[in-house]
Amino acid sequence: MHLLRAFSLEAIWRLSLSASLACLLAGASSTSAMTLEEREALDLSEYTVTAPDASYIDVDERRALLRGTNNSLLLQEQDQLKQGPSCKQMLAIPPITTRLRIPGYYPSPEEWELASEPLFQFEDTVSQLAGAYIASDDIYYAECLVTFLDYWARNDALMNFFYDPSQPQAWFATESMIFAAAMAYSLIRPDIEGMQEERKRIEDWLSRLSHKHVAIPGLENNSCCNNHFYRRALYASMVGVLTEDDELFQFGVSAIYSALHDMTKAGAFPLEVKRGRRATHYQNYALLYLITNMQVIARQGYDIFNLQINGHTIHDAVDFAMSILENPINLGDMAPLEQYTGFLKDEQYFSWMEIYQSRFHDPRVADFLETVRPVYNRSAGGYMTLYFMDPEAQQHIVMDEEKQETAAFKGISAN
C-alpha cells in the first residue's frame, strides 16, 4: 500500500467528520438513485484539499522502488519509456481551438474513431511525457509536458466544445482529456523549478475548463449520474487538488457518495447494468473511474476506500464485477447471459485493478491482472503497471500474438 504523506491533526478530525456523514447517509433509503437535488444537498464541506502537491501516487516513493527493482516487467517498461518521445515533435501537435463536435460512438463507430484521433493523441502525449519522466528522472520530459500544456492553455484549447442533450459526444470526449492532462501534470509539477508563468496559465486553464464542463448537469437517469458523472468527478478531484479548489474537489467526492448510495445489495451499479449485453462492460467501466478517483481522494488523507453508505462499500462493487467477469450467470435477471466481451481484449479497461491490488491484494484481481499486464490507460493514469504493481506480483510477462500487436502499437517491446 502506498504511504500517505503526513497530515495535520485537522486532517484526522476531518476523517471523523467524514465517518459521521457516512453514518447519516447510511440511514437513508437506497430504493432509487440519488437525484441531482439530493447530491447537491450533501454537506461535503469537511472534504478539503490538504496536500496540493500530492499526485495519485507517491512519486518519490515509487521512483525509489523502481530504481531498486529487478522485476523484468517493470524494467522493460522503464527501458522503453526512458527513450522518451521527441519534445519538438510533441509541440508540433496543434491545440484544438475550433468548435469541437464528435459523432456518437454507437451510431457511427468509424466516424467517431476518426474524429477522436486528435483527442487520443493529446491523451497519449501527456501520459507518455509523464511516464518518461517517472522512468528516467530526466527533467527534460517534465519541462516538455509543462511547455506542451502551456501551449494548449495559451490557445484556450478545448473551451469551445459543442453540447446538446441529443449530441453530447464532444462533452463526453473532453472529460478524459481534462483528467489525462491533470493526472499527468500532477506527477511532474512538484519537481518543476521556475516556469511559474506557464504553471499559472495551465492551472487557470484547467480550472476554467473544469468549471465550464461540470456546469452541465447531464440528463436525468443517464449522464447526470452514471459513468460519465464518475468521469467528470475524476477530473474534478484532480484539478481541485492541483488548484486547491475545494468546490471542485467536493464535486469529485460526491460521485463516490452517489455511487455507493445507488448500489444494489449485490454490488451492482443500476445505471450501468441496465445496459443489457454491455452490463458487465459498464460495471467494470464505472469502477475504472471510481477507483481512480478514490485514489486521488485517499492521497489527500481521507479513508475513502472504507466509506460505507447503506451498508455498501466499494468492495461490494468490486466483488460483483469480478463475479460477473468470471461468469455472466451471476448477473441473474439484471441482464442477458450473452454479454459483450470485446472489452476484455483491451487492458486499458482494467487500470483500476492495479490501484485496487496495490491496496487490497485480492487473489481474483491478481490472477486477472497477470493476463493483461502491462496495463496502460492513455487518459486515466497512464502507465498503471509501472506506477502501482508490486515487484513481487509478476516476475515475467508472456505475450500472445494479439498482445504483441497491441504493445507494438503503443511502442512497448514484447521481448
Q: Are strands 376-377 and 382-383 parallel, antiparallel or unpaired?
A: antiparallel
pLDDT at 46 over 50: yes
Count CA atoms within 13 Å of residue 83 on its CB side: 8
Confidence band (pLDDT; 50, 70, 90) for 112? Answer: confident
Torsion of Cα atoms, 350 then 351 then 352 then 357, to 10°: 90
pLDDT at 21 over 70: no
Quick one: pLDDT at residue 33?
82
Quick one: pLDDT at residue 4?
32
Confidence band (pLDDT; 50, 70, 90) for 27? Answer: very low
Query: Contact at 8 Å (CB) between 383 and 131?
Result: yes
Phi/psi of residue 5, nearest 5 degrees: -70, 160
Query: In whole angstroms, how large is the CA radius of gyration of the chain?
Result: 20
SS3 (DSSP) at 312: strand
pLDDT at 25 over 90: no
Quick one: pLDDT at residue 331?
97
Confidence band (pLDDT; 50, 70, 90) for 325? Answer: very high
Torsion of Cα atoms, 229 then 230 then 232 then 237, to 10°: 140
Calculate ∠ Cα 221-224-225, nearest 5°: 70
Q: How far is CA 42 from CA 30, 37, 46, 226, 295, in A?
A: 15, 9, 11, 18, 21
Quick: pLDDT tens for 65-82: 999 999 999 999 999 999
Phi/psi of residue 167, nearest 5 degrees: -140, 75
Quick one: pLDDT at residue 22?
41
Quick: pLDDT tens for 347-384: 999 999 999 999 999 999 999 999 999 999 999 999 99
CA distance 179 to 232: 8
Phi/psi of residue 376, nearest 5 degrees: -130, 130
Quick one: pLDDT at residue 397?
55
What CATH class does 9-410 carry?
Answer: mainly alpha
Cell numbers 445507488 label which residue? 262
| DSSP notation for 70-100 | --HHHHHHHHHHHH---HHHHHTSPP--S-B
Quick one: pLDDT at residue 103?
86
| DSSP notation for 27-75 | TS--SSPPPHHHHHH---TT---S-TT--SS-HHHHHHHHHH---HHHH
Categorise residue 85: left if φ over 0, alpha if ψ from -120 to 50, beta otherwise: beta
371-407 burial: b if 16+ Cβ within 10 Å, else e: ebbbbbbbbbbbbbbbbbbebebbeebebeeebeebb
Quick: pLDDT tens for 147-200: 999 999 999 999 999 999 999 999 999 999 999 999 999 999 999 999 999 999
Calculate ∠ Cα 289-292-295, nearest 5°: 150
Quick: pLDDT tens for 251-295: 999 999 999 999 999 999 999 999 999 999 999 999 999 999 999
> Alpha helices of 137-195 — where are they, by DSSP H?
139-154, 169-188
Quick: pLDDT tens for 293-322: 999 999 999 999 999 999 999 999 999 999
Quick: pLDDT tens for 186-233: 999 999 999 999 999 999 999 999 999 999 999 998 999 999 999 999
pLDDT at 405 over 80: no
Quick one: pLDDT at residue 410?
40
Least confident of 17-26, 87-96, 327-336, 391-400: 17-26
Q: Domain boundaries in the chain?
A: 9-410
pLDDT at 414 over 70: no
Tell me the whole-structure pTM to 2 decimals: 0.88
Quick one: pLDDT at residue 72?
95
Least confident of 25-34, 117-126, 365-374: 25-34
Q: Which among 76, 2, 68, 5 is positioned nearest to 383, based on CA atoms?
A: 76
pLDDT at 8 over 90: no
Confidence band (pLDDT; 50, 70, 90) for 84? Answer: confident
Confidence band (pLDDT; 50, 70, 90) for 246? Answer: very high
Confidence band (pLDDT; 50, 70, 90) for 412? Answer: very low
